[in-house]
Chains A and B, each alone.
Chain A
Amino acid sequence: MTKYKYLFLFALCLLTQTAMAQGHRITGTVSSSVDGPLMMANVVEKDANNRIVEACVTDINGNFSMMIKNAKDNLTFSYIGCKTQVLPIGARTSFKVVLVDATSIREIVVKGKQKVNSNGLAIPKREISVAQQTLNMSEMEGLSFTTADEALQGKIAGLDIVANSGNLGSGTSMRLRGVTTINGSAEPLIVVDDNIMENPDANFDFTNANEETYASLLSVNPDDIESITVLKDAGSTSRWGSKGANGVITIKLKRGARGKTRISYSYRFTGSWQPKGYNLLSGDDYTMLMKEEFYNPAQSSTATTNINELNYNKSWSEYENWNNNTDWVKAVTQFGQAHNHYLTISGGGEKANFRMSAGYDHETGTIIKQSLDRFSTRLVLDYFVSDRIKFSTNFALTYTDNMRNYDDNILGRAQQIAPNMSIYRQDANGNNSDEYYIMSPSGNSTVSGQSSSSLKSIRDLGNPVAIANSSWRDEKTYRITPQFELNYDLLSTEDAHTRLKYTGMVYMDVFAKSEPKFWPGSLSTDTWTSTTYNKSSKDDYNSLALTTRHTLTFTPHFNNEDWAMTMLGYWEMITGNSNSQSVTESVLPSGITDPTVSASLDDMSGSNGQWRSMSVYYSGHASYKSKYSLTFSARGDGSTKFGKSNKWGFFPGVSARWNICDEKFMKPTNKWLSMLSFRPSWGIVGAQPNSEYLQYSKYASSGVYGSGTGNQSATSVDGMQLSNLKWEKTSSYNIGGDFGFFNDLITGDFNYYYKKTTDLLMQTVSIPSSSGFSSLAYKNAGSMENKGWEFNIDANKFIKIGKFSMSVNANVAQNFNQILAMDESVLQSINTEWSAGSRGTYLNRIQVGNPLGSIYGLRYKGVYQYTYDWLINYQKNNNLTATEFQDYINNTFLKNGKTAPIALNSNGQVLMNSNGTPVHLVYNYTDGTQTYTFQGGDAIYEDVNHDGQINSLDVVYLGNSNPKVNGGFGFNFFYGNWSLKTSFNFRFGNKVVNTARMNLEKMFDAYNQSTAVNWRWRKNGDITEIPRAMYNSGYNYLGSDRYVEDGSFVRFQYLQLLYRFDSKFLKTIGLNNLTFSASANNLYCWSHYSGTDPEHSPGSWGISYDNSQTPRSKSFTVGINVEF
C-alpha cells in the first residue's frame, strides 16, 4: 500500500514539474531602428537576481519563440551595437521590440569613489588609515624583471632590498623597517591575491643565509601583476597576525575586464655582462709573488726549489701547462642573454570575465653554463551566475628549470686559481689539446706525475672551466596554485542598501622541486684511491598546502550618508604536508649520471613534515564624512607549535585617520592643498618558531646496543620539552600623515614608527650540560626595538609644457635598531670568543644597547717600514747609548713617520726594556698559544691599550652592517608618445666586510691575488699599505678595519626610453597598441666601495660580507608590445 502511495507522490511531483515547466510560450520579433529585423539577437529570461533562466536567439527574420519559466521574470533583448532593452513578461505572450542604436545614447556621468583594499575591506582611498604604499606595475612596462621584488627596489620607503647575487634566480633579501627577529627569516611575508605565498622549502637556515635559496617569487610572473602594495605598520600587518611581523608585500594580480577580447603579446630581449672586477695578477706576477711568499717565512733560498709549478722548469713534464697567462675570469664569464615572451588574452561579457596569460623566459647567465627557463601560465576567470553570485577561479602553473653551476662558485674559483696554469692540457709544443688540465695529485713534485703539495689548495680548486662544463646541477620546480572562490551577496547588491556578503575560498599550493646534480670523475681532485668518483645526488621535495577561508563582509547603510561603516570577519584554516628525500651515490659507471643505479651509496635520507594553523579575524572600518576614519582589526592565530597554554596568539591593530584638509578652517588652503591628513596607528604582530613538535618530550630510536646477536633496540629522549615557549611579539606604533598639493598633482606621505619586540625567539640556546642536554631548541630570550621614519613623495606630471611633461618620485627612510635586553646566559653562549689563531674573522656579537650587525675588529694602521733588527743595527752602527737610542727613535725615527714593530706608550713614545732596547711588539703574548713577534713588512694593528702586544683587548667597534639611510628616486619625462624613465636607489652609512678583497690581498696561501699586491712590502724602508707575503704564517690579515669598507652607494638602476604609436594610426592597421622600449639597467653605481658591488645583505643578525658572489650584472633591454 505504502508503495503505491510513494508512487503516486512521485507521479504528482513529475506532474508539478511539467506544470511548472509549461509556464507559457511567448513569441515576438526583434528589430533595429536602423537595420530592420535582427538575426541572432539574444532574448534572455532573467530572474530577480539577474540569473539567466532561459534564453534563445532570433532567426533570420528576427523572430523568436520560447517557453518562459516564470511570468515574474524579465526579458532582456540585446544585440551588438544596440542598447540592451529589458521588459517585464507578465501576462504578455507577444513582443515586438525595436532596439535603439547604442551610439545614440546621450552622455552620462558616472560618479564613483576609488576604493582600495585595506585590512581586507574595500575602503575609499581617502580613508586609508594605515601605513602602506602601492606600486603600480603599469609604470614598469617594458622593463625586464625576473621577479617582482626587483621592481620594488628603491621604490618603497622603508623597504631595503639587496640582491643576493647575480646568479640566475637567486632572488633578493628584503628588510622592511629593520630586523625584528633573530630567530628566523626576516623577509617580509608575500601575499598574492590574499593568499600567503610561502617559501615551500622551509628547512632553511636563515641565520647564516649566505647560501642562495629558491626565490619564491619566481613562481609569479611580474607581467601578471597589476600592483604591489607594501604594508608597513602593525595597523595593517596585524591582519596577517603571526606571519606579518616582518611586514607584508601584497601582490594584486591582473584580472579580465568586460569588453572586447584583447590579445596582447610582448617580447623583450636583455643582454647582460659582468661588471669589471678586480685586476688579478698575471701568470708571471703570480709566480714571482709565490716565490716571495714561500721565501719570507722560511728565509731559505731553497724554499721553492721543489715547486715545479713556479719554476718554469723546462725539463718538467708539465712545464707547458704552467708557463701561461690565463685570464680565468674572462674564461668563465660570458655575455648573458634573456628572452621574455608573454602572451595574454583577456576580455569578458555580461556573464564572465577572463584573462589567460602565458609567459616563457629563457635566460643565460653572465657565468658560463648558467641558464634559467621559466614557463608560466595563469587563467583567471570570473563567472557571474547572477548579480548576487559570482564564481572566481585563478589557476596558475609555473615551471622553472634553473641550470646552475654545481656549487655556484665558478667565479670564486676562477679568481683564486693560478693564472700561469692552462685551461687545456698542452702538448710539448704548448698547443692546447681538447682535454681540460687537472693538476696531478699532490705529493713531492720532484716525483714525476705529482704536483707540489705546497700548491695543494690550487689543486683542490679544480679547473673552473672544466667544472662549469662537466658538472651540473639542474634545479627544477613546479608550482601549481589553483584558487576557487564563491561570492554571494546575501542582502542587497546596491551600495545604497545594507549589504552582507559571504565569500568562500579554497586555495591550494602544490609545489615540487627536484635538484639532481652530478660531479664526474674527470674533475676529481681527491687522492688516487678516492672512492668519491662520478658522484651523483638527487634531492626531491614536494609539498601540498590547502587553505580555506570563509568571510562575511557586512556593510550597513545609514540614512545619514555622512556615516559609513564596513566590517568583515573570517575564519581561516591552513593545513599542509611535505616530504623530501635525497640520495647520493658515487662510483657510478661512466656515462651514467642518475643515482638510481646500484653503486656505492653515500647517503640516503628522507623526511616528512606537516603543519596546520587556524585563524579568526575581524576588521571594522567606520568613517564620518570621509574626514574621520577609524579602523580596528584583531586576529587570533592558532598554532601547532606551542603547548596547550600558548596555542593561541592574539594580534590587535587600531588605526585612525583625520583628513585635516576637509575641515572648514582649511578652506582657504584648498586651492593648493588637496590633502593633509594625520594617521596614527598601533598594533601587535608576532612570530613563531619554524619547527614543529617543540612542546613535546619526544622519544626517538637511538639505534641498537649489543655486540652482534640479539642486539637490543634503544630509545632516548630527543631534546628538551619546551613547555614555556611563547609567541614572539612586536608591538608598534606608527604616526603618519599624507599630503597632496594642487589637486593631488604632488602627493606623498610621512611615517614615524617605533617597534618593540619582546620575547625574542632565540634558536639553539645553550644550557648547562649537567642537565643532560647541551641546548634548548628555542627560548624567549630578550627584547629589541626598531624605530625610524620614512618619507615618500610623488609628483605626477607636475610640469606640463605643451607636449612635454615630467614626473618625479622619491623616497627615503631611516631605521635604528637596538637590543634592549637579553638573557645573560644566552648572550654569553651565542657570542663568539676572540680566537688568536683564526685570521680574517670578525667577532659576531649581540650586545645589549647596541644594534644588530655590529662589526668588531682591530684597527689597521698600515705596514711596518723597518724591521726591529734594523733599529738594533742602527744603534750598533752608530754606537748610541740607551738614552741616545731612545731619543733617536722618538725624535728622529718616529717623528719622520717611520714605523717599526716597537711598543709605544699612549703619547706615541717608545717603550724601552731595562737592557736599553725598545720593547718588541708581539702578537698575543699572554695566551701563549699563537705568540708571534712582529717584523718589518707586517701589518700594523693599533695597540689600543699600549700593553706592547696585540690581542683581544685591542678589538674595537668598527661599524654596523645596516644602512643609516636608504631609499630611491626617479625622474620620468614624457613628450608626446615618447617617455623616458629613470630610477635610482641608494643606501648610506652601512659597512661591508670586503672578504673578496681580503682573499685577494692576503698573500697567505697559494691562491691568485689582485694586482694591488704588487705594491707589497719587500725591503726595509718601503712605504706601502700592503704587507709582505707570508705563506701560511704571520698575522697580516686579521679581522681589522682594513677590510671594513663603507658600503654606501647610489645606483642608477635603469634608464628607459619608450615609444607608443599613435592610436589613430594603429586603428588603421587593426592594432590597439604598439609600443617599443629600450632600457639600460644597472647603468652606474656611485660608491667608494672598492669591490665590484656594494650591495650585501647581513642575513638576519650577522655581518654583511662580500663573499665575491657573482655581482649583479649590467644589462640592456629592448622590447616590443603589440595588442590586437
Chain B
Amino acid sequence: MKINNIFRKTVVMGIAVLTLCSCEDFLTITPTDKTVLEDYWKTKDDVSEMVTGAYKAMLNNSIQQSAIVWGEFRSDELTLPTGVNGTLTTDLKYINTVNILPANSFCSWGAFYTVINDCNIVLKHAPAVVSLDPEYTEGDYQADRAQMLALRSLCYFYLVRAFRDVPYSTESFESDNQYMTIPQLSPDSVLAKCITDLEIAEQNCIKSGAYGENSWKNKGYITRDAVDAILADIYLWRGSVNHNQSDYDKSVAYCEKVIQSKIAYYKANQDQDISDDGTKITYPLEDAQTAMYSIFGVGNSEESIFELQYDGTNNSNEGLVQMYYEYMNSASHGYTVASQIFNTVDINASTEQGAKVYSTKNDYRFWNNCYAVNDAEETELEIRKMIENQSTIILTTSTTGDTKSTTRAYTSYKQNWVIYRLTDIMLMEAEAKTQLAADDNDVNTLRSAFDLVKAVNDRSLLTGTKDSLAFTNFGTKDAMEQLVLAERQRELCFEGKRWFDLMRYNYRHVEGIDYNKTLAQINESGSPFVTNYNKMLSKVIRKYITGADAISFKLKNEAYLYFPIATSELKVNPYLKQNPVYIEDKSTTKN
C-alpha cells in the first residue's frame, strides 16, 4: 500500500517536473500576423521589402504636408482661402502671420525620422543577409545601401532646411534599452555627413533606366540621377549659405551629370534623334502644351528624376489633396490657395521690381498652374497644377483661365509627388553658374546660365512667340540671379521649392552666418542673429494684401526663417535646444 502511494506520488511529481522543463518554450508566443526580428533578415526579399518600406514611409501624410508647408507655404506663393475652417487652418494661419508657436502641428518632424530610422535599420541588418542568402549578392547589398544612404540624406536635408539644428543619428533605434535622447548638430556638420553618404551612394546606385524602360521604379526609387540631384541641391544650398565657390562648382558638376545622363538615356531610347546641331543643346523636355499633363497628370514623365509613387488604391496622396484640392471631402477649397502674384502677368516679372510671376500670357504655365487666372481682382486662386488630370489643352489665347472642376475624387488620389525633375536641375545649374560668374563682364558664364534658363522658359512658350527671353535684358549677375529666381518660380511653383529658393537668395546676400554653430550656441555666445536680406523680404510679402510691413518686421533674422522645435519633443528630450527666438515663457503653474 505504502509503496503504491510513493510510486503514485513520484509519477505525479515527475509529470509536474517534466512539464516545468518545457515552460520556457510554453511561455514564448509569437504574433501570427507579424514576423519577429529573430525570424527576419534571412532572405533577399526581407531586405527589399524593408527598403521599399522606407519609401512607403515617405508617403506619410505628414511628409507630404510638411514638404508643402515648409517649402512652399511660407513663401509668396501660397495663402489661406477665406471661409476654410479645417483642423489645420489655425496652425496655418499662425504660420502665415509669422506667429509660429512650438505647439504648431507643422513643427512635427517625426515622419522624417521614421524614414531615417527605416533606412538605418536596413543599413544595420542588411549586411548579414549577404552571408545567409546566396541570392543576395554584395552588389545587391551595395545598391540597397546606396538607396538608403541617399534617402536618409534627403530627409536630413529637408530637416536642416526647415529646422536648421536637428538631432542626427546613423544608429537605428529598435529597442527601449537604447539611448534615445540625442542632441542637435550644427547644420554644417549634418550636411557634411549627408554629402559623404551621398558620394558613397553615387558610386553604387543603380543607373536610371535600369529597371526597364516603362517601369515606375526608375523614378520611384532613388537612382544615380536622383543621388546626383540631391548632391547638386545640397551643394547649391551650402554654397549659398557659406558663399563658397567650390560648392557652386560641385553643384554645377552634379547638375551637368544629371543633364548628360538624361540626354544620353533619351538618345538611347527614343526613336527620333534628339536634335543636336552642334551649337544648341536640346534637352529631353516634355512638349509645351502637354507638359503639365505628362509630368503631373500621368506621372513618371521623361524629365522626372525622383518622385514619390501613389497608386490611388492602396494609398492616396491625402496630404496634397488637403492642401491644394479639398481640405475635407466635398469641401470648397484646399487648405491653401495660390496668392495674387499668379493672377495676372507683369512685364517686369523676371526683374527685381516684378510684382507677378509671369511676364507673358504666351506662357502656357500661366494658364496651366492655376484656375481662373487673368483676373486682376482675384486674390485667391485655386491651384491647378497636380490637381487637374485631364489632358485638355488650355489655349494661351483665352481671356479667362480654366474653371476648377471638382470631378476628381477626394479619396483614391493617385498623384505622385515630384521631388526632382530635369528643369529643376537645369535651373539649379543656372543658379550656381550665375554665382560662379566672376563679375558682370564674365559673359560666358552668364551666357551659359542664361541658356539653361531660356531652354526651360522656351519650352513653355507658345511656338513662334516673340516673348522669348533675351540675354541683353539680363546681362548682369544681379539680373541673372533675378531671372533664375523668377524662372524657378514659374517652372516649379507649388512643388515645395520656393521658400528654399528664397532662403538661398537671402543667405547669398547676408554676411556673418555661422553655419558651424547651432542657433542656441550662437545665442549663448552673445552674438546677434544675422538680419535678413531686405529684397528677399520684399519678395515674400508680395502675397499679403494687408499687413505686409508687419510680416517683414517679424521675419527679423535668420532664426525666424526656421520652424521652432515642437514642445512635445522638448519635453521628452532634455538635450534639445529650442530655436532661441521661439522660447516661450512658462505658462502653466505647478500647483
Contacts and interface: CB of A to CB of B under 8 A. Distances in A.
Contacts of A768: 167, 180-182, 569, 572-573, 576
Contacts of B276: none
**Listed residue (A616, A699, A928) with the most chain B CB atoms within 10 angstroms of its CB:** A699
A707 B216 contact: yes
Interface in B401-424: 414, 416
A956 B590 CA distance: 9
Contact of B589 (A500, A573, A828, A952): A952
B113 A957 contact: no
B19 interface: yes
Interface in A716-738: 716-718, 720-725
B355 to A, nearest CB: 31
A734 to B, nearest CB: 31
Given A550-B12, A705-B56, A721 B33 contact: no
A606 B236 CA distance: 51
Nearest to B40: A699
**Listed residue (B177, B572, B574, B587) with the most chain A CB atoms within 10 angstroms of its CB:** B572
Nearest to A720: B176
A774 B56 contact: no
B179 to A, nearest CB: 10
A716 B53 contact: yes
B591 A699 contact: no
A591 interface: no
Interface in B534-581: 567-569, 571-574, 576
Interface string A723-767: 111000000000000000000000000000000000000000011
A1042 B55 CA distance: 53
A767 B572 CA distance: 6
A769 B110 contact: yes
Contacts of B280: none
B245 interface: no
Contacts of A703: 56, 314-315
B382 interface: no
A502 B9 CA distance: 9
B169 A770 contact: yes
Nearest to A716: B53
B309 A955 contact: no
A1036 B15 CA distance: 71
Contacts of B169: 770-771
Contacts of B103: 833
A638 B120 CA distance: 35
B311 A708 contact: yes
A710 B114 contact: no
Given A771-B117, A779-B176, A714 B56 contact: yes
Contacts of A442: none
Contacts of A702: 53, 56-57
B389 interface: no
Contacts of A951: 587
A771 B15 CA distance: 48
Interface residues of A, number: 76
B309 A707 contact: yes
Nearest to B58: A705
Contact of B36 (A611, A699, A776, A928): A699
Contacts of B299: 707
B54 to A, nearest CB: 8
B311 A704 contact: yes
B1 to A, nearest CB: 9
Interface stretch (B44-52, B256-264, B450-458): B44-52
Nearest to B587: A952
A829 B181 CA distance: 14
Interface in A591-628: 608, 610-614, 616
Contacts of A692: 29, 31
Interface string B357-375: 0000000000000000000
Contacts, number: 235
A908 to B, nearest CB: 22
Contacts of B38: 696
A833 B588 contact: yes
Contacts of B172: 772
Interface stretch (B20-28, B191-199, B247-255, B288-296): B20-28
Contact of A956 (B16, B23, B591): B591
Interface string A635-651: 00011100000010000
A1041 B32 CA distance: 51
B182 to A, nearest CB: 6
B181 to A, nearest CB: 6
A490 interface: yes
A1090 interface: no
B70 interface: no
A1019 to B, nearest CB: 34
Contact of B114 (A712, A767, A773): A773
B26 A769 contact: no
Nearest to B300: A707
A705 B174 contact: no
A331 interface: no
A491 interface: yes
A571 B38 CA distance: 30
Given A692-B31, A696-B36, A768-B180, A828 B56 contact: no
Contacts of B525: none
B87 to A, nearest CB: 13
Interface string B148-186: 000000000000000000110100111111101110000
Given A723-B176, A952-B589, A693 B48 contact: no
A613 B180 CA distance: 32
Contact of B59 (A552, A614, A705): A705
A770 B205 CA distance: 27
15 contacts: A490-B9, A696-B38, A697-B174, A698-B35, A703-B314, A709-B216, A715-B49, A716-B56, A767-B180, A768-B181, A770-B167, A771-B117, A772-B114, A828-B572, A834-B587
Interface of A: 490-491, 500, 502, 550, 552, 571, 573, 608, 610-614, 616, 638-640, 647, 692-693, 696-700, 702-718, 720-725, 766-774, 776, 779, 825, 828-829, 833-834, 847, 856, 926-928, 951-953, 955-957
Query: Top 4 A-B pairs ranked by shortest CB distance?
Result: A772-B117, A769-B110, A714-B56, A828-B571
